[in-house]
Structures are given as structure tokens and as C-alpha cells.
Structure 1
Amino acid sequence: MIKVERLSFSFPQKELYNDISFTLEEGQHCAFIGTSGSGKSTLIDILMDPESYLFDGKLEMDPECTIGYVSQFSELDSTKDTTVFEYIGERFLKIQNEIQSICAEMETSTDLEPLLEKYQLALDAFDAMGGEDYESNIHKQLNLANLMKRRDSKVTDLSGGEFKLIQVMKEMLNRPDLMIMDEPDVFLDFDNLNALKKLINSHKGMLLVVTHNRYLLNHCFNKIIHLENTEIQEFDGRYIEYNFSLLETKIELQEIAVAEQEEIERNDKIIDNLRVIATYNSEASRGRALKARVRFQERLEARRIKAPFVAIKQPNIQFDMDHEIEDTVVISVNNFSVAFDELLLDKVNFEIKSTDKVAIIGANGTGKTTLLRDIFKNNHDSIEINADAKVAYLSQLQGEMLKDSNTILEEFIEAGFKTYDEIRLYLSNYGFEGEIVSQKIASLSGGEKNLLQLAKVSASQANVLLLDEPTSHLDTYTQIALEKAIGEFKGAILMISHDFYSVVNGMDYVLIIEDKTIRKMDLPEFRQMVYASHFDKDYLEMEQKKKSIETKIELALKETNFELAKGLIDELEALIKLL
């Protein structure tokens, strides 16, 4: 077990944790969630190397505890000329080669005693790490992730998503006491994401995974740790049950808040009446009654319930445009082809109209980003942009659109804002308040950088948005805010995304890349295709029903109809048990 007790830690410019406590126990698969910039990655760094941080509180961990780690910023090492099998089994192959070398040495040596001792030590180490079955275990993992066909491929030939999966396999095969993964899902296509889900669910050890991916959250974890506003909340159970618990609490707190507000308003009227009476009646008892009532009112205000994990502030993302375009084609792609080492896209054709919201779907490495970037640059003979179109671009390579050496304020001065006050007011809608606007962009989290990109896209007032993986690194609350902004936008959107929920909640249709070309698919067909591949036949219907009930609960809360909300909560609870 790993135990954190009353841990506090701050950077000079920001307090991250205030007396937080949590535990991780054997066999738990824990999702670590929280808004962007709340300190999740820093807390992981503290767990992995506590001696490097000056924190208050206590961290209890067996000194022999081994930790496996998969970073969100993984890169292929182009200097390593190894196969996938050799990369995953590197640790085993090293000892195996050592054993073979000792055996070869024993054949010619006259002094066998030290070699026998060395041989036994190597053999014990190999057995202790499960070496006897390592080859079959690698094959099991490759089959689980549908990557057996890549067993003898060079690591350098893998896509980024495939490489991330074999990194996960390699760490899991080493059987650490605690396996930590920091946003392992970023940029994974849906097939690779599903493979990651299978790997997580097959792992027998203790897992701590930072993720904002709703697909993984809904299907992989039996414990939730939620970091928010320097505090932590633990929940033993699935993410879907955690959200249900939050919704229950929200109803309870809103009902109490309404009752408290009514009491405060009633008390305000009594105070006003006592003050009126006190102006023409100077009896001491009247003054004492007024003071007592004011003190009572102050106590009512002080005990107002605060619920940092229930009412988390979403950024106010809005995509406004300076002019609309009538219903016409804004992007035309005719016979577009692209190749690097091999042909990726061949004679692709499609059109985007002025109000279309379209997702480009396809496996990692099929040319989606190249296509979107070429549309933005508009210097390709096969691409035509309407003269009235004003285009904004969000890149998955954040350094393309943000300069790390800039402060946030400098970035937005360069984007056309006139004063720092104007920038501060604008960025407050996106949750950037106080001293953070003076920080260098390089110091921000991945989620904060993507949110800044969204703010820049919005400030451009473009009527055509090109968004390359806009939900990557974004916390779930910002993802939902983005979906709302997309739904309200009156212009055209062409979006690359592997986030199933963002696609089905915001797009009109999808363009699927298959066999080096693109075909159009309507949303119901796409949704059905995904569910048929990865869920049982009733799951789609139940999830749609769940969303319908949640919408009804939100409407009931807006109308302060708490009896209706409680009735719907019972209905929702029964449905969640089936999911």
C-alpha cells in the first residue's frame, strides 16, 4: 500500500496541494483526474522521486517498491535498431544473453566455481522476473493489442500510437509494484485506444493513470482520485458511479442552498423592519434584537455550503465570427494526394459547406494532420478556399501556434490585442486569472496550452475552424465546454479527433480515411459502427437513455423541482447498475 497523509506543496507562484491524503492499494486501478494545471503531473513526480521535493506531510512507501512509468511525452529513439519484440523484452533478453555468455565461458574455463555462482545469480534473477514465460507473455500482450503482426517490425517503423502501446507493454511486463501512466491516451486512434483499454484491464498490479479520456474513464478503473483547488477527493468505484455520486450531492446541496437563501431573504426582511422600528423607537431592547438578528444573518452566510468537487467552473469558450457566409462551399479538396516514405492519401475529394461540422477519422499515421495543415496553408493546387472564408487553426503540435518563450500576455499582444487589461479580461473567461498570465508558455501544462490555443482561435473571429485534436490534454470539464461551443458555432468546422464523445456530440458527419482515400459516413452509422466493434448491442441504447435522464435532471434543477430530480436520480441509479 502507498499512503499519502496531509501532504502540502507549493511552487513560488502557486499553491498546489493543501493537506491532501489518499491511499493506493494492491490491485487497484486508479484514475487520477482534475482540471488542467492542478498539479497532477507534479504529484506523480513526487511519488516517483520524493527526495527531490520539499513538501510538508508524510509519504509512506516501501523503499523496495518498484515503479513503472509511461510519460505523456514519449518519443521514438531513432538510434535504436531494434524490433518490437526486442524492445519489449529488452530486460529479459539482456539476462538471457548474460546466461548464455556464462555458459559459453564455462565450456573453456578451468575455474568453474565463480562462474557457477554467477550463473546461479543470473538464473535466479531471470526466474524472479518471470523470465520462463516472458516470450509467451509478450505474445499475449501483442495479441491483446492486435499488434502481433508488428512483432518483428523495427521500432522506428511504428506509428506514434503503436509505439505508445509497446511502451505500456514493456513497463507492464517488468511487473512493477506500481505502474504510473501520464495521459497515455493522447493522440491514440480509436483502435489503439481500445487496445490500451484491454492492456489496462488485463494488468494485475496497482495502476495510477492520469487521464481525461472519457472512454477509458468509463471502462477501466475501480478507484478515482480527484484533485481540485489544492484538495483531493477519493472515491472507491467506477467513474460512472463517481459522477452519479457528484450528481446526487449536487441535488442535495442545491436543495439546501435554496432553503438557506429563502431563510436569508426572510431574515433580511426582519432586519429591515427592525432597522425601521429602531429609527423611531430608541428602546435598548430594540437595538439588542437588531444586533442579534444581524449576527444570526452573518452565521447563515458563513455556513453556506461550498462544494469544490461538485460545482467546478468550466471555461467560457465561445467561437464568434466577424462575418457569416451564406450556404455555400468554403473548402474544396480535389484529387489531393500526399506521400512521405509511402503514399498516404491518394486522389482524395470532398467539400465542406459554410455550416458543416465534420470530423476526420482515421488510424495514426494516415495523413490527417498533413491534410489539415495543407488546407490551412492553402498553397496546394488540389485545395481551394472560399474568398470569404476566414480560417483559424489549432495544431496538435502546440509549438506551431504558441511560442514557448512568450508569456501569455506577450502571446496575445502578438495576436492583436491592444492592452494587457484587455487580455486579462478576455482570458478570465478561459480560467487564466491572476499571476498565471505573466508566466512563460513553456511552464504551462499540455491542457493549459491547448486551452490557450482555443482562446486564440476564438479571438480570431474566424468563420472556418481547423482543429487538430482539440481535446488532447483537456480535462473533462473543458471538453464539455468545447462541445457546447462547437454546438453553438454558426460557421464551418473540420476537426481531427479520436475522442468518440466529441465526435458524436458535436459533428454533423465524419470523413473516414480508409485504404488511402476518404469516404463520408453519417453520424448514426459511425456511432453504430463503433458500438458494434467494442460494446454489446444494448450498450448504445442504455447510454443514450442515461444521457436523456441526466438532461432531465439538469432541467429539473434549473426549475428547482427537487422532487422530480430525486425521482429521476433513482431511475438513473437503476440504469447505471446495468452499464
Structure 2
Amino acid sequence: MIKVEQLSFSFPQKELYTNISFTLEEGQHCAFIGTSGSGKSTLIDILMDPDRYLFDGRLEMEPGCSIGYVSQFAQPDTSADTTVFEYIGASFIKLQNEIESICSEMETSSDIEPLLDKYQLALDAFDAMGGNDFESNIHKQLNLANLMKRRDLKVSDLSGGEFKLVQVMKEMLNRPDLMIMDEPDVFLDFDNLNALKQLINSHKGILLVVTHNRYLLNHCFNKIIHLENMEIQEYDGRYIEYNFSLLQTKIELQELTLAEKEEIERNENIIDNLRAIATYNSEASRGRALKARVKFQERLEARRIKAPFVDIKQPEIHFGIDHDVQDLTVLKVDQYRAAYDELLLDKVSFEMKSTDKVALIGPNGTGKTTLLRDIANNHPDSITLHADAKVAYLSQLQGEVLKDSNTLLEEFIDAGMSTYDEIRAHLAGYGFEREILNQRIESLSGGEKNLLQLAKVAVSNADLLLLDEPTSHLDTYTQIALDQAIQDYKGAILMISHDFYSVVNGMDYVLIIDDKTVRRMTIKKFKKMIYARHFDKDYLELEQQKKALETKIELALKATDFELAQSLMDELEALIKLL
């Protein structure tokens, strides 16, 4: 067991945690969730190296507890000749070579006793690691991730998504007591994401995974740790059940809050009346009654229900256009070609109308980002934009769009906003307030930087949005807000995404990269293809029904119709059982 008790930690400019506690136990696969910038990565750093941090509270781990770690930013060493097999099994191969070396030395040594001791220690270590089965275990993992064909390939030749999976395999093979993964799903294509799901579900030890991926959250975890507003909530169960629990709690608390509010208002009226009487009647009993009522009111105010895990503020994402949208061709791509060390795309041709919403889909490393970047910035002869079209670009390489040395306020002055008050009002809708506005962009988390890019796109009034993995690093609440903003937008969108939900819920059709070119596919056909590879029957339709019910419940709560909200919750509970 790993136990955190009453932990508090802050940076000079920001308090992160106040007396948070949680446990991780054998066999738990735990999703670690929370809004961007809430301190998830910092808490992982504390778990991995507590001596580096000055925190209050207790962190209990078994002596010698081993931790495996997969970073969201790891990159392969392009100068190394290591094969995939050698990379995954490096610690086993090293010990295997050491044992062989000791054996060779024993053949020629006259003093064999110390070598025998050394040999036995190495054998014990190899056995403790599960060394006798390491080759077959690597093959099992490669087959599970559909990467057996990459076994003898150089690690430097893998795509980014493939390397992420190989990194996960390497850490899992070492059988750590605790396996930590920080957003391992970022930028993975559909097939690699499904492979990651298989690897997570096959792992026997304790897992702590920071993720906002709705597919993984719904399919991989039996415990949720939710960090929000400097507090933590634990839930033993699936993510879908946790969300249901949050919504049920919200209904109950809102009913209580309304009752509290009415009681406070009634007491306030009594106080006003007593004060009015006191102006012409100075009897001591009247003064005591007034004083008692004021104290009672203070107690009512003090016990007001606080629900940081229920009232989670979604950003107010809105993409607008400051003119009427006309029916015209906003983008034409004709015989586009892209190549680096090898040919990526060839003879790519398509057109987009001014209201088309299109997903560009393909495996990692097939040239999607290169095409989007050429449309946004480079404008080769094969790409034609309408003369009056205004383009906004969101990059998965955030430094392309955001200047790290700028403060948030400076970034939006550079973007053309005229006053600091205007910028403050705009960014407040995205959750950026107070002192954070004067921080440098480099200090933000990955999710906060992506949210800042969305805020920048929103003020562009662009006719064509080029969005490269816009949901990456975003928490689930922001992803849902983004889905809605995409659906409401009146202009054209070309979006690279491996998020099933964003593509199916918001796009008109899909451009699939196939044999170095693109072909158009309807959403209906795309869903059928995804079902065949990844989902149970009717999964996406049931997810849509779930989302619609949750929206109805929220509307019922706004209207304070608790009876309707509860009846809809009964429908939602029945639907969740199907999921």
C-alpha cells in the first residue's frame, strides 16, 4: 500500500494542495484526473522523489518500493542503434551478459569462490526479475500491442506513438511495485490508443495514470482520484459510475443549498424587522433577540454547503465569426506532396466549403501535421485559400503559436486585443484569473497552454480553424466544452484528432490517409470502421444518449426541478448499466 496523509504543498505564486489524503492498494488501476494546472504532475513528482520537495504531511511507502514511470514528453535517442527488443529488455539483457561474463571468468580463474558468490547473486537478481521468461513476456506484450513486426526495428525508426507504447512495455516488464504514467495517451492514433488500453488492462500491479482520455477512462480503471480546488476525492469504481455519483450528489446538494438559501433569506427578513423595531423600541429583550438572530445568521452562512467536486467550472469556449458566412470554397488542395527522409503524402487533393467540419485521420507519422502547417503558414502552390479567408491555427507543438517568454496578458496584446481589461474579461471565461495573468506562458501546464491556444483562436474571428489535436492535455470538462464550441461554430474546421468522441460528435465527414493520399469517408462509415476495431455494439450511440440525458439533468437543475432531475437520473442509471 502507498499512503498519503494530510499533504499540503505550494509554490511561491500558487497553493496546490491543502491536507489531501489518499491510498493506493494492490491490484488497483487508478485514473488520476483534475482540471489543467491543478497540480497532478507535481504530485507525481512528489511521489517519485519526496526528498526534493518541502511538503507538510506524511507519505508512506514500503521500504524499497520500486516505481516505474512513463513521461508524456519522452523521445527516443535517434543516435542509438538499439532495437525495439533490446530497448524493452535492456535490464534483463545487461544482467544476462553479466552472468555470461562471470561464467567465462570462472573457466580461467584459479580463485573461484568469490566468483561463485557473485554468480549466485546475479542469478538470484535475474530470477527475482522474472528473467527466465523475459523473452516470451516481451513477445506477449508486442503481440498485445500489435507491434511484433517492429521487434528488430531500431527504436529511432519508430513513430512517436509506437515509441510511447514501447516505453510502457519496458517499464511494465520490470514489474515495479507502482507504475506511474503521465498522459501516456497524448497524440496516440486510434490503433495505438487501443494497444495502450490492452497493455493497461493486462498489467497486474498498482497503476496510477494521469489521463483525460474518455476512451481509456471508460475502459481501464477501477479507482478514481480526482484533484480539484486543492482537495482530493477518492472513488472506488469505474469512471462512468463516478460521474454518475457526482451528478447525484449535485442534485442532492442543490436541493439542500436552495433550502439553506431560503432559510437565510427568511432569517434576514426577521433581522431587518427586528432592526426596524429597535429604532423606536429600545427594550433590552429586543436587543437580545436581534443579537441572537444575527449570530444564528452567521452560523447559517458559515455552514453553507461547499462542493468543489460538484460545481466544477467549465471554460466558456466560443468560436465566432464577425460576418455572415457565404457558401463558397474556403480551401482547395490540389496534388499536394510532402516528404522528409521519405515520401509522406502524394497526390493529395480535396476541397472544403465555408461551413465544412472535417477530421483528418491517419496513423502517427503519416504527414497530417505537415499538411496542416503548410495550409496555415507555408502556402505551397498546391494549396489555395479563398482571398478573404481568415485562418486560425492551433498547434500540437504549442511553441509554434505561443511565445513562452510572454505573460498571458502580453500574448493577447500581441494578438491584437486593445486593452488589458478586455483581455482579463476574455481570459476569465477560460479560467485564467488574477495573478496567473502576469505569469510567463512557460510556467503553465500542457493543458493550460492548449486552453490558452483555444482562447487565442476564439478572438481571431477566423473563417477556417486548423486544429491539430485540440483535445490533447485538456481535462474532460474542457473537452466537453470544446465539443460544444465546435458544434456551434458557423465556419469551416479542419481538425486532426484521435478523439473518437470529438470526431463523431462534431465533424461532417472524415479525410482518411490511405496509401500516402487521402480519401473522403462519411461519419457513418467511419463509425462502422471504428466499431469493428475498438468498440462494443452501439457504444457511441449509447454515449450520445448518455450525454443528452446529462444535459437534460443540468437544465432541470437550472430550473430547480429536482423531481424531473431525479427521474432523469433513473434513466441515466439504466443506460450506464448498458455501457
Mapped to 1, the partners of 2:472 and 2:540 lie a distance apart of 24
1:501 shift after superposition: 1.4
1:408 shift after superposition: 1.8
1:462 shift after superposition: 1.4
Specify the code of the residue in structure 2 equivalent to 1:500.
Answer: F
Aligned to 1:403: 403
Work out whether 1:90 is the aligned partner of 2:90.
yes
1:293 shift after superposition: 3.7
Aligned to 1:576: 576
Aligned to 2:447: 447
* C-alpha contact 1:322 1:463 (8 A) present in aligned 2: no
1:538 shift after superposition: 4.3
1:430 shift after superposition: 1.3
Q: Aligned to 1:453, what secondary structure does the other structure show?
A: helix
1:380 shift after superposition: 0.8
Judged with a 3 Å threshold, the aligned counterparts in structure 2 of structure 1 residues 413 and 548 are, in CA distance, closer, same or farther, namely: closer
* C-alpha contact 1:324 1:463 (8 A) present in aligned 2: no
Aligned to 1:233: 233
Q: Aligned to 1:307, what secondary structure does the other structure show?
A: coil
Mapped to 1, the partners of 2:213 and 2:225 lie a distance apart of 15
TM-score by length of 1: 0.96
Judged with a 3 Å threshold, the aligned counterparts in structure 2 of structure 1 residues 547 and 412 are, in CA distance, closer, same or farther, namely: closer
Judged with a 3 Å threshold, the aligned counterparts in structure 2 of structure 1 residues 379 and 38 are, in CA distance, closer, same or farther, namely: same
Work out whether 1:158 is the aligned partner of 2:158.
yes
Mapped to 2, the partners of 1:344 and 1:165 lie a distance apart of 22
Mapped to 2, the partners of 1:473 and 1:188 lie a distance apart of 12
Aligned to 1:143: 143
- Deviation digits for residues 296-319 of structure 1 (CA, Å, limit 9, x no counterpart): 333333322110000111111121
Mapped to 2, the partners of 1:103 and 1:301 lie a distance apart of 77
* C-alpha contact 2:325 2:490 (8 A) present in aligned 1: no
Mapped to 2, the partners of 1:280 and 1:129 lie a distance apart of 87
Q: Aligned to 2:76, what secondary structure does the other structure show?
A: coil
Specify the code of the residue in structure 2 equivalent to 1:457.
Answer: V
Mapped to 2, the partners of 1:479 and 1:227 lie a distance apart of 17
Specify the code of the residue in structure 2 equivalent to 1:2.
Answer: I
Aligned to 2:370: 370
- Deviation digits for residues 487-531 of structure 1 (CA, Å, limit 9, x no counterpart): 221111111111111212222221111221212222232223212
TM-score by length of 2: 0.96
Deviates further, 499-508 or 157-166: 499-508
Mapped to 1, the partners of 2:330 and 2:345 lie a distance apart of 21
1:286 shift after superposition: 4.6
Q: Aligned to 2:217, what secondary structure does the other structure show?
A: helix
Q: Aligned to 2:258, what secondary structure does the other structure show?
A: helix
Aligned to 1:438: 438
Specify the code of the residue in structure 2 equivalent to 1:319.
Answer: F
Mapped to 2, the partners of 1:531 and 1:263 lie a distance apart of 52
Aligned to 2:53: 53
Aligned to 1:427: 427
1:124 shift after superposition: 1.4
Judged with a 3 Å threshold, the aligned counterparts in structure 2 of structure 1 residues 517 and 431 are, in CA distance, closer, same or farther, namely: same
* C-alpha contact 1:197 1:216 (8 A) present in aligned 2: yes
Mapped to 1, the partners of 2:402 and 2:465 lie a distance apart of 17
Mapped to 2, the partners of 1:483 and 1:369 lie a distance apart of 21
Mapped to 2, the partners of 1:207 and 1:449 lie a distance apart of 27
* C-alpha contact 1:218 1:239 (8 A) present in aligned 2: yes
Q: Aligned to 2:351, what secondary structure does the other structure show?
A: strand
Mapped to 2, the partners of 1:568 and 1:390 lie a distance apart of 43
Deviates further, 230-239 or 458-467: 458-467
Deviates further, 396-405 or 504-513: 504-513
Specify the code of the residue in structure 1 equivalent to 2:54.
Answer: L
Specify the code of the residue in structure 2 equivalent to 1:123.
Answer: L
1:543 shift after superposition: 2.9
Mapped to 2, the partners of 1:109 and 1:92 lie a distance apart of 25
1:434 shift after superposition: 1.4
1:121 shift after superposition: 1.7
Q: Aligned to 2:429, what secondary structure does the other structure show?
A: helix
- After superposition, residues 170-569 of structure 1 pair within 5 angstroms as 170-279=170-279, 284-569=284-569
1:459 shift after superposition: 1.8
Deviates further, 33-42 or 258-267: 258-267
1:265 shift after superposition: 3.4
Work out whether 1:107 is the aligned partner of 2:93.
no
Specify the code of the residue in structure 2 equivalent to 1:38.
Answer: S
Deviates further, 435-444 or 180-189: 435-444
Specify the code of the residue in structure 2 equivalent to 1:356.
Answer: D
Identity across aligned pairs (percent)? 80
Mapped to 2, the partners of 1:521 and 1:53 lie a distance apart of 51
Mapped to 2, the partners of 1:420 and 1:562 lie a distance apart of 41
Q: Aligned to 1:402, what secondary structure does the other structure show?
A: coil
Q: Aligned to 1:225, what secondary structure does the other structure show?
A: strand
Mapped to 2, the partners of 1:504 and 1:52 lie a distance apart of 44
* C-alpha contact 1:315 1:481 (8 A) present in aligned 2: yes
- Deviation digits for residues 201-243 of structure 1 (CA, Å, limit 9, x no counterpart): 0000000011111111111111111111111111111111110
Q: Aligned to 1:577, what secondary structure does the other structure show?
A: helix
Specify the code of the residue in structure 2 equivalent to 1:375.
Answer: I
Mapped to 2, the partners of 1:255 and 1:265 lie a distance apart of 16
Mapped to 2, the partners of 1:271 and 1:105 lie a distance apart of 93
Specify the code of the residue in structure 1 equivalent to 2:67.
Answer: I
1:274 shift after superposition: 4.4
